[in-house]
Amino acid sequence: MFETDRLRLRAVREADFENLMVLFNHDRVEKMLTSGFVVPLGVKAEKELREMCSSRLLYVIIETKDNHEFVGFISLWDAQMKNRDARLGMALLPSFWGRGYATEVLRFIIDYAFRQLALHRVSLHVFGNNTAAIKVYNKVGFVQEGVQRKANWIDGKWQDVIWMAVLDEDWEASKQEGPNPKTVS
- Of 62, 76, 136, 165, the residue at the interface with ligand COA (CB under 6 A) is 136
Distance CA(52)–CA(54), nearest Å, equals: 5
103 counts as binding ligand COA under rule CB under 6 A: yes
- Shortest reach from residue 28's CB to ligand COA, in Å: 6
Q: Where are the beta strands (DSSP E) in 52-178?
A: 58-64, 70-80, 85-92, 121-127, 143-154, 157-167
Q: Which of 130, 148, 163, 168 binds ligand COA (CB under 6 A)?
A: 130
42, amino acid identity: G
Q: Which stretch binds ligand COA (CB under 6 A): 10-18, 28-36, 78-86, 172-180?
A: 28-36
Residue 101 makes contact with ligand COA by CB under 6 A: yes
Q: Which stretch binds ligand COA (CB under 6 A): 7-15, 75-83, 98-106, 141-149?
A: 98-106
Instruction: Check residue 42 for interaction with ligand COA (CB under 6 A).
Output: no
How crowded is residue 22: how many other Cβ atoms within 10 Å of its Cβ? 12
State the Cα angle at 30 between 58 and 138, rounded to 5°.
65
